[in-house]
Amino acid sequence: MERPELPLPQLHAFVVLAEELHFGRAAARLGIAQPPLSQQIRRLEEKVGHLLFHRAPGTVTLTAAGRELLPAAQRVLTGLADGLTAARAVGSGRAGRLRIGFAASLALTVLPGLLRTYRHQFPDVQLDIHEMTTAPQLAALREQSIDVGLVREPPADDSELRFETVLTERFVAVLPSAHPLTTQRTVRVEQLADESFVLLPRAVGPRLYDQISGLCSSAGFTLRVAQHAVEWQTVCGLVGAGLGVSLAPASIRRIRLHGVAFREIRPDTARTRVAVAWRANDPDPLVANLLAAVSQGS
């Protein structure tokens, strides 16, 4: 049996009249005159095939059919109102799910403040946070498995992605605490010429790796990597275990590990760039709102 289509304006008129049980009050609440309200109710009754109201001088009451229809009509209208509210919230970027990638070391710098600012402004947005090094983040952005990334040393030119710098950092030397150079307040990079290095693999952050390699080349020696580690905390741990030394972004000093010492370097002109990354021409308002939060914090 084919189900009759019940237009929403007629359902709305029916529910309001059922709640008021007075044509004049119902029409005023709906912002229409009484004749159009009566027409809406008659059309609905024709679709149902039964009277929904008993009309008598001075009284309006629901029929058995009207009493049966009322809860269902209220659920339809409530569900529609809730759906419209949710759609507007998502459409304006006030609700939804935002997937953010971040390089682990940025949990020591820009990430906490950025998330606090964003969550304060948009508490109903669900945040999915993914710890990823730079190269996987860029791939995930292109594959649309994350929406925004916080990366170190983004590529200089990328037609698919956009970048906005949020922080620049100096480099520091990471040394075993018993290393002779820890007696100095600063370390010249050329003093590390005979050292083995612990470093992130180039594949996970090529531009950062090349920056560190360039620091060594400028100091007159070739970087010699004895051990790779994917995260800076692991790099520091391996340095503390005596497997080598490292050059790292200055925020790494916030990692407190036994057996590890940090020293400023000379020259200290090199800077590592931290940027927020997103897809070019991404229309998602969640992304736009996060970028606005980044701008507020910068």
pLDDT of residue 1: 44
Confidence of residue 7 (pLDDT cuts 50, 70, 90): confident
Confidence of residue 257 (pLDDT cuts 50, 70, 90): confident
Read off the pLDDT of each residue in 179-204 and give the average, rounded to a whole number: 95
pLDDT of residue 77: 87
Q: In the predicted model, what is the mean pLDDT of the chain?
A: 89
Kindly report, residue by residue over 11-44, the tens digit of the pLDDT: 899 999 989 999 999 999 999 999 999 999 999 9
Phi, psi of 18 (to 5 degrees): -65, -30
Read off the pLDDT of each residue in 135-161 and give the average, rounded to a whole number: 91
Read off the pLDDT of each residue in 260-265 and give the average, rounded to a whole number: 96
- Is the per-residue pLDDT at 262 higher than 90? yes
Read off the pLDDT of each residue in 201-208 and give the average, rounded to a whole number: 89
Please indicate whether residue 1 or residue 182 has the higher confidence score (pLDDT): 182
**Structural domains of the chain, with CATH:** 8-91 (1.10.10.10), 96-167+273-297 (3.40.190.10), 171-270 (3.40.190.290)
pLDDT of residue 298: 53
pLDDT of residue 4: 55
Stretch among 107-121, 124-138, 194-208 having the lowest mean pLDDT: 107-121
Q: Tokens standing for 145?
A: 């498995």
Vertex 161 angle, CA 158 and 166, to 5°: 105
Cα 75 to Cα 116: distance, rounded to the nearest angstrom: 37
Contact assessment for residue 264 and residue 185, using Cβ atoms and an 8 Å cutoff: yes
